[in-house]
Structure 1
Amino acid sequence: MDTDETLLRILACPLDKGPLILPAGRDALYNPRLRLRYPIVDGVPQLLPSSGLRVSAEEHERYAGPAEA
């Protein structure tokens, strides 16, 4: 198990406390349930509720893939 998998097991969305997805681009953590993207700045996830950015339907497809739509 690599570092990314270990961190994803313990990191959670600050709003619904559910798991987050690390998309292939690795520039953000994503909550597909709330359609919120949390930026990663200098390797540090910004997991404050105010840091969550709502994403469009197109972005949701890109981050979560067609299975989550």
Structure 2
Amino acid sequence: MPHAVDWRSPDFLKIFELYDRADFAQEFLRRNPRYRAAYQRAAAPRRPGAALGRLARHWGLVFRR
């Protein structure tokens, strides 16, 4: 796991220089409590494939297999 950079560091913004749209989208979702709760609910059922498909459609995602 990469070392977390302190957001108060002068170098903090440098980590975003190489980000593309997908990286920013992932960061947004990772920090979004509504998405995180929805993902937890979708991953919990006996048939998570269908629930994850609905989650992906709702949030406009494509999960790689």
Structure 1 and Structure 2 fold alike (TM over 0.5): no
Higher share of residues assigned strand: 1
The structure whose RCO (Cα within 8 Å, separation 6+) is larger is: 1
Higher share of residues assigned helix: 2
